[in-house]
Structure 1
């Protein structure tokens, strides 16, 4: 399946059929474009005034997906202002159902499916008028309300077509119906109507739209697996064995000290944990860690001898030390909060969201400042892991030379370039992509990181539901799942938490120094099982995600996830309220678990809110 492209130039005719303000597709800007050259991978269209559109469709055989890159070049003599440019445009797809993935804080990835009829998008009796479903996100948190993803289904023939955008800032996806039983899918940067985006294209200038992925498959899981496998993350060389992460946040709650981190290091040393990560609160004159973000001087009350004492201690225990930063934002107790010349502005004043200002990442002073306090800290103190957080969004856009949406896009691109700068100066650095948990779980950020916080869901019942959702949009090998251990944990709660981590990367936290020997034994068994199935987590294909609950807060029923690699499979089963046993639940899916040879298992799922994982031969 190949993509074409469209552009809308300011001042030129908008489309009719009652679509002005709904979509910019079909405008007069496409009049005069002719196909000038075409081969297997690239098509080029030109207008008489010298405007050129190129669409490159590159097939990725190992993922069975197509990567789309659209570029536009102005070979004319006058400056043109774009107000829409597609990254992807696929026409005439037979479909009757639309699949989207919702996302809010600690509720990432909920699957929503609507029929064309339910959305009132059936074609009209005369095929006049265009039905438009337009959705997306505005701001610098690109995964908020929706993931930049859509799949349409032809339920009669069992064919799914999926599209995923590389969308680090504002984006949009449109599904359109004009006539018959087919839809068109378009997506890219949120346009002028939706995302306040305009971009001048000077004579001789070329602009490349964010890339996109397209895949077709026989099920939602099939098409999502292809889109995810087409992503190409820059994994650190030291992060090649699905290592377990311990993040101390749910032990100290933003109050780390040299003493409590040494205590943690002593307790988890020799347990096969690869990373010990110090989270927020190590900086400034921290009272409440939130208020001191942006002051990256070491808190001498908490770390009187500096941070090298800590990293030496952690490395001496056989682990890689990690540290938390929030690069782009600054709060009211930090001096950078008041550096107005170096802050993002809206309407001529610093853009303020809650108690946050945003550093202007296009400002060389800011890059020099972050190079000193972030990269310098990593180097001087021998950190091998950085968790990069981002806890608010700039919204619709900001001041600058272009449209507000384009000004915003350029600042986020510079942030991504700073990620690359860190990796260039520290090639082995492990980067964790975090944005209040899951607000940056889109491909362009995921390709810059070894792993990501899957969510800020720490100790809630929705943990396995969100973890399973993530299989549809990011690699499970990059999806770090929280499992927070407490002294009061029952066996069932430990199994419930640890089995959730088998849906991605195991990430531990909590008061592990208070666990008794029996609890430690359950945890150790879980870590051993995780290591045994880590190749399936990393390289397998998720064939089944089935959960019969519609609530994250009060889940009912159960969830069954199956991931296959070669002749082996991992099954992870979580029971919620009013649940049935695994065999009965799987039977409703047409799966008889007794038909498989059991190789290993962890946990016991014999009651509500318990869990079990099976390693089977198929």
Structure 2
């Protein structure tokens, strides 16, 4: 609860809070409830009941503060208290999901602290980050499938990042937004969310028709991947993305198709992606289509080709991305060994 919310603090009582050194745990502007206390669980259950009665079917459980080492309340150590409290919280979440099986509860990754598999097993989806900078999100999007199912990994697509401070009570003009945001920024935002679960946001209504059409095309592409994602496995042909790297690539393999997102992060335009375990049969640009693909100020656009075990890409300059598909054939391990000598 809010650290200065005297009304709720009085309602709960001291026994309902996590404590250390005899004081309530405070982080930022918040104090932390202890879900081992029935009064805490009952109040929040009643709150969810009310929301469901009002027709709410989607709730985000946000969590932007760190409780620290734990709580000494009813425990033999701080870590023991934190473990027991966390277990009580997750049991409460399960009770809510059992009570309302059609309710979607989005978990917060909390900087990765809540991406354990117990938490993930109880929530239909998890927010992978609050990041809205399309230049930084590729490093998250390219790695997240190592921990989270694609249909569970909520990724922001945020084409119109605000030029103003957070909570500024003003909106940019359409003229200003279109002058500031080019088509490549729109495309990269859409590619960022293609492998996970797209959360499209921002003031997209400010964009001109061509840019809005790129968003619509991206949504159609994303929707077309739903069936493939259910049986797909992640693929990291360049390994995990380095935050300071010039390129990134990550994909999903579904049956005999590799869906691959490729990012140029202001590096060399040419990117080689080896896939030694597979033989490439063909390679095609999926998003944006060749008909709608932006042409850079230098006349550059994406080029791509393939050899038997190598995908080659040339992306436009700057921070750009494309989404590809390749038909592939798994190479027998013994054959690959013999071929490599």
TM norm. shorter chain > 0.5: yes
The Cα offsets for residues 511-552 of structure 1, whole Å up to 9 and x where unpaired, read as 1222221111000000111112233333212233426974x3
Equivalent of residue 250 in structure 2, options 561, 572, 577: 561
The answer as to 2:272 corresponding to 1:600 is no
Cα distance, 1:556 vs structure 2: 4.2
How far apart in 2 are the matches of 1:465 and 1:585? Answer: 18
Change (3 A) 1:546 1:509: same
How far apart in 2 are the matches of 1:592 and 1:609? Answer: 28
**For residue 312 of structure 2, what is the aligned residue in structure 1?**
none
Q: Which has the larger strand fraction?
A: 1
The answer as to 2:315 corresponding to 1:610 is no
**For residue 366 of structure 1, what is the aligned residue in structure 2?**
40
Equivalent of residue 343 in structure 1, options 11, 17, 24: 17
Cα distance, 1:610 vs structure 2: 0.9
- Contact 1:533 / 1:615 at 8 angstroms: preserved in 2? no
How far apart in 2 are the matches of 1:420 and 1:523? Answer: 36
Change (3 A) 1:548 1:345: closer
Question: How many residues align structurally?
Answer: 283
- Contact 1:438 / 1:453 at 8 angstroms: preserved in 2? no
Equivalent of residue 457 in structure 1, options 115, 131, 150: 131
Within 5 A, what are the aligned runs for 1:29-178? none
Q: Structure 2: which 5+ runs fail to align?
A: 161-176, 294-301, 303-314, 329-341
**For residue 49 of structure 2, what is the aligned residue in structure 1?**
376
- Contact 1:567 / 1:617 at 8 angstroms: preserved in 2? yes
- Contact 1:459 / 1:483 at 8 angstroms: preserved in 2? no
Cα distance, 1:376 vs structure 2: 2.3
Two-structure CA RMSD over aligned residues (Å): 2.4
Change (3 A) 1:433 1:528: same
The answer as to 2:66 corresponding to 1:393 is yes
The Cα offsets for residues 424-463 of structure 1, whole Å up to 9 and x where unpaired, read as 2211011111043543111000000111001121124221
Change (3 A) 1:471 1:549: closer
Cα distance, 1:572 vs structure 2: 0.8
The answer as to 2:142 corresponding to 1:468 is yes
- Contact 2:139 / 2:241 at 8 angstroms: preserved in 1? no
Within 5 A, what are the aligned runs for 1:518-597? 518-546=210-238, 550=242, 552=243, 555-581=244-270, 584-586=271-273, 595-597=281-283
Cα distance, 1:570 vs structure 2: 0.3
- Contact 1:494 / 1:523 at 8 angstroms: preserved in 2? yes
How far apart in 1 are the matches of 2:272 and 2:52? Answer: 51
Q: Secondary structure at the match of 2:317?
A: coil
- Contact 1:388 / 1:434 at 8 angstroms: preserved in 2? yes
Change (3 A) 1:593 1:571: farther
Q: Secondary structure at the match of 1:471?
A: helix
Change (3 A) 1:538 1:458: farther
How far apart in 1 are the matches of 2:75 and 2:252? Answer: 49
Q: Which has the larger helix fraction?
A: 2
Equivalent of residue 98 in structure 2, options 424, 429, 437: 424
The Cα offsets for residues 46-100 of structure 1, whole Å up to 9 and x where unpaired, read as xxxxxxxxxxxxxxxxxxxxxxxxxxxxxxxxxxxxxxxxxxxxxxxxxxxxxxx
**For residue 167 of structure 2, what is the aligned residue in structure 1?**
none
Q: Secondary structure at the match of 2:219?
A: helix
- Contact 1:547 / 1:558 at 8 angstroms: preserved in 2? no
Change (3 A) 1:538 1:355: same
Cα distance, 1:372 vs structure 2: 1.8
Q: Structure 1: which 5+ runs fail to align?
A: 1-293, 295-329
Change (3 A) 1:498 1:334: farther
- Contact 2:63 / 2:110 at 8 angstroms: preserved in 1? yes
How far apart in 2 are the matches of 1:600 and 1:348? Answer: 59
How far apart in 2 are the matches of 1:557 and 1:434? Answer: 29
Q: Secondary structure at the match of 2:259?
A: strand
Change (3 A) 1:513 1:600: closer
Change (3 A) 1:360 1:392: same
**For residue 109 of structure 1, what is the aligned residue in structure 2?**
none
**For residue 67 of structure 1, what is the aligned residue in structure 2?**
none
**For residue 410 of structure 1, what is the aligned residue in structure 2?**
84
Change (3 A) 1:390 1:516: same
The answer as to 2:189 corresponding to 1:497 is yes
**For residue 169 of structure 2, what is the aligned residue in structure 1?**
none
TM-score (norm 2): 0.76
The Cα offsets for residues 182-216 of structure 1, whole Å up to 9 and x where unpaired, read as xxxxxxxxxxxxxxxxxxxxxxxxxxxxxxxxxxx
How far apart in 1 are the matches of 2:33 and 2:53? Answer: 24
How far apart in 2 are the matches of 1:556 and 1:496? Answer: 16
Q: Secondary structure at the match of 1:507?
A: strand
